[in-house]
Amino acid sequence: MTVPVITIDGPGGSGKGTIAHELAARLGWHCLDSGALYRITAVMGERRGIALDDEPALVALVNTLPILFEAGRILVDGTDLADAIRSEAAGTGASRVGALPGLRAALLQRQRDFASPPGLVADGRDMGTVVFPAAPLKVYLTASAEERANRRYNQLINKGEGVSLPALLEDIRARDERDIARPVAPLRPAEDAVHIDSTAMTIREVVDTVLAEAARRGLFAQAG
């Protein structure tokens, strides 16, 4: 039996993570936060003194690293990294290690293993183009860079972190550029992706739009 997969790709801050979790909860499916794997690689690489462009050492690291996602915790070699990987530095590090082809290849099977019954919602940059090219529903979620910077700003302020909005906007633009320009698995929509611009939409509206597409494709028994 093939497991249904819904892929949600798009730039950072487009709301992919929130939408993917909501969708998975509504459908009772599993959820893959692929960005977390790149963030974990960057954080653990730094903790172990590995340069973020030392591809062989990073590949060896991820090939041997025990990672367990369970109920909001991300246990990496026994330590919960759920908070540590959410920093801006971890995001920038993730974008750097994500440009290494050998590292992407090393993470491929680990990502595919998340596809188990009754279904999977997978969030990232290359879920529909590389990791799950046969997925029956692919979404490309965007929002303007200004709106994404605003959302991130509010998240960080709520966490009590002091940040500057112009610096965040600059960081978001630089990360977009790096993710789009890299030769391996660049950020781009799959040819058969449904495009959703979330700039002026609520989370609920985006989730309902994706559920309606899933229902239209017969991916679950009842329309959401």
Q: Is 125 in the site for ligand DC (CB under 6 A)?
A: yes
Q: Which of 4, 15, 35, 45 binds ligand DC (CB under 6 A)?
A: 35
Calculated CA dihedral for residues 129, 132, 133, 139, nearest 10 degrees: -60
C-alpha angle 189-33-152 in degrees, rounded to nearest 5: 80
Query: Any idea of the CA torsion for 24, 188, 73, 89, to the nearest 10 degrees?
Result: -150
Residue whose CB is less far from ligand DC, 4 or 12: 12
Q: Which of these ranges, 66-74, 121-129, 188-196, 197-205, lies near ligand DC under the rule CB under 6 A?
A: 121-129
What CA–CA distance (Å, rounded) separates 187 from 35? 12
C-beta of 27 vs 141, nearer to ligand DC: 141
Stretch that binds ligand DC, among 31-39, 74-82, 134-142, 199-207 (CB under 6 A): 31-39
Task: Based on the shown chain and the rule CB under 6 A, indicate whether residue 34 belongs to the binding site for ligand DC.
Answer: yes
- The amino acid sitting at 109 is Q
Task: Give the interface segment with ligand DC, choosing from 59-67, 94-102, 156-164, 198-206 (CB under 6 A).
Answer: 94-102
| Residue from 7, 14, 95, 129 binding ligand DC (CB under 6 A) | 95
Judged by CB under 6 A, does residue 15 bind ligand DC? no
Least Å from the CB of residue 64 to ligand DC: 21
Least Å distance, CB 220 to ligand DC, is: 24
- Nearest position to ligand DC, beta carbon: 35
C-alpha to C-alpha distance for 41 and 215, rounded to whole angstroms: 36
Cα 139 from Cα 19, distance rounded (Å): 11
Of these, 4, 6, 12, 139, which contacts ligand DC (CB under 6 A)?
Answer: 12
Residue of 153, 157, 137 lying closest to 145 (CA atoms) = 153
Q: How far is the CB of 223 from ligand DC (least distance, A)?
A: 29
In what helix (H) or strand (E) does residue 107 lie, and over which residues does it extend? helix 101-112
Max intra-chain CA distance, the chain: 50
- Interface with ligand DC, residue 220, by CB under 6 A: no
In angstroms, rounded to a whole number, what is the distance separating the alpha carbons of residues 138 and 9? 8
Contact set for ligand DC, span 176-215 (CB under 6 A): 179
